[in-house]
Amino acid sequence: MRIGSAEEISLDQARKRADELRGQIALGKDPTEERAVLKQVPTLAQFVQKRYLPFIKGYKRSWNIDESLLRNHLLPVLGNRYLDQIKKDDIVALHQGRRANGGAPASANRLLILMRYIFNLALRWETPGVIKNPTKDVPLFEENNKRERYLSQEEAQRLYAVIQDSDSRMLQFIVPMLLLTGARKREVLDARWSDFDMGQQVWRVSISKSGKPRYIPLSGGVVHLLAALRQEQASWPEKQRDCPWVFPNPDTGKPYVSIYYAWDTARQRAGLPEVRIHDLRHTFASYLINAGRSIYEVQRILGHTQIKTTQRYSHLSQDTLLAAANTAVEALGQSFIPAPRLSAPVPVAVLPVR
C-alpha cells in the first residue's frame, strides 16, 4: 500500500510508518480495509443533504425549521467535519456557545436536540464511522420560560359569546372544536369529513405532529357541533356544499391558510389579548385533569408520545387545590383550630371553615 511520496514525508518517517503498518497486520488488522471504511464516512453536511433532510421531508411538517437551524447554526460550524470527528467537546462548545452569544436556553437546546436526533439516525442506519452518539449525557439548559395559560370557565364562555358575532362564519365552529377536542390548530383546519366515524365517535388524524396517525374520541358535544356545522353548510352554494374539508374557507372551499386576523379580533373583544390558540389545547387538558381524569388518559387523547410532555398540561385550578386542602380540615374538625386571643393587641382575621 502507498505510504506517501518523497515530497510529502522523509525516509525515516516512511520507515516508521511502515513499521506501524506491519505491527497492525501482525495483530490481525487490515490497514487497507480501515482506510476504505474511512473513505465512506460522510461529513455532517453530506449526511444532512443525502440522508437526513430527505428522510424528515417525508413525514415532518416542520422540516423547514430543522433546515433553517442546520443552515444558520450547525453546518457553518461542523458541516465540513466527518461524523467520526465530531466529539462531545464539539457538541458542548456548540451548545454553550449559542447560549453565550445571547441565545435563550430553549434556542440552545434546540440545536442540541437536533444534533442528538441526527446522530441517533446515523447509528440506526449503521452509517460508516459512527459508533456512538457524541451528544450523549450532554445536559439541556433549564428552561423557565414555558408559558402556561388556560381559560377559566368564565373566560371560555366570554370568548364563545364573542365568536358568535365574528365576521368569520367558521370561527364559531373552529374555536369550540379546538376547545372540546384538545386538537392542534392545523389538525382541525385540515380535517376531512372522511376522517370522522360518527358511529364509533372517533376522529382519525391522518398525519399528526409525530408523523403517525392518531385517534381522538368525539364527545357528545363535538358530535352536536359537527351536526350544526353540517346544517350550516347545507345553505352554502352547491359547488361548496360537497367540500371534503370540515372547516373550509366559505369563499374558497379550501382549508384556511391562517385564521389569525379573525382569532385576534375575537380575543381582543373578549378581553383576552394574551390568549393564544394553542392555549385552548392547554385548557382542554386542564379541564380533564381537574375533573379527575388520569394523566395517561390525557396523554392518549392529546397524542403525546412521552408522559413528561403531558405533565406540562396538568394544571390544577386554585379552587381544586383549596378544596383538596380543606379536606384535611374537614376530617380533623374544629378542635384542631385554636381560638383567637381576644387580648391580642393586633386583631387576627380567622378564615371561616366549612
Mean pLDDT value of segment 203-228 = 85
| Residue of higher predicted confidence among 337 and 281 | 281
Q: What is the pLDDT of residues 66-107, one digit of tens each?
A: 999 999 999 999 999 999 999 999 999 999 999 999 888 889
Q: pLDDT-derived band of residue 256, with 50, 70 and 90 as boundaries?
A: very high
Is the domain of 63 the same as that of 212? no
- Does the residue 61 lie in any domain? yes
Is the domain of 84 the same as that of 172? no
Spatial separation of the C-alpha atoms in residues 14 and 300, rounded to whole Å: 65
State which of 313, 328, 349 marks the end of a domain: 313
- Does the residue 291 lie in any domain? yes
Is the domain of 117 the same as that of 188? no
Is the domain of 114 the same as that of 224? no
- Does the residue 295 lie in any domain? yes
- Does the residue 138 lie in any domain? no
- Does the residue 146 lie in any domain? no
Domain count, the chain: 3
Query: What is the full DSSP assignment across 254-275?
Result: SB-S--HHHHHHHHHHTT-TT-
Is the domain of 240 the same as that of 290? yes
Q: Which amino acid belongs to residue 243?
A: C
Is the domain of 296 the same as that of 164? yes
For 34, the domain range is 11-40
Is the domain of 210 the same as that of 308? yes
Is the domain of 53 the same as that of 17? no
Is residue 9 within 8 Å of 17, Cβ to Cβ?
yes
Instruction: Indicate whether 150 pLDDT > 60.
Output: yes
Q: How many CB atoms lie within 10 A of CB 244?
A: 13
Q: Which amino acid belongs to residue 158?
A: R
Q: pLDDT-derived band of residue 250, with 50, 70 and 90 as boundaries?
A: confident
Question: 45: Cβ–Cβ under 8 A, 6 or more apart, which residues?
Answer: 75, 79, 80
Instruction: Indicate whether 145 pLDDT > 60.
Output: no
Q: pLDDT-derived band of residue 349, with 50, 70 and 90 as boundaries?
A: very low
Q: What is the percent of the chain where pLDDT is above 70? A: 80
Is the domain of 188 the same as that of 304? yes
- Does the residue 17 lie in any domain? yes
Spatial separation of the C-alpha atoms in residues 108 and 246, rounded to whole Å: 39
Is residue 298 within 8 Å of 288, Cβ to Cβ?
yes
Is the domain of 173 the same as that of 66? no
Spatial separation of the C-alpha atoms in residues 249 and 257, rounded to whole Å: 9
- Tell me the longest C-alpha to C-alpha distance in the chain: 104
Q: What is the pLDDT of residues 15-64, one digit of tens each?
A: 777 777 677 677 766 655 556 555 789 999 999 999 999 999 888 877 88
CATH number at residue 249: 1.10.443.10
**Sign of the torsion angle spanned by Cα atoms 340, 342, 343, 344:** positive
Is the domain of 99 the same as that of 214? no
Query: Across the strands, what pairs with 192?
Result: 245
Is residue 142 within 8 Å of 67, Cβ to Cβ?
no
Is the domain of 193 the same as that of 92? no
**Sign of the torsion angle spanned by Cα atoms 66, 67, 69, 70:** positive
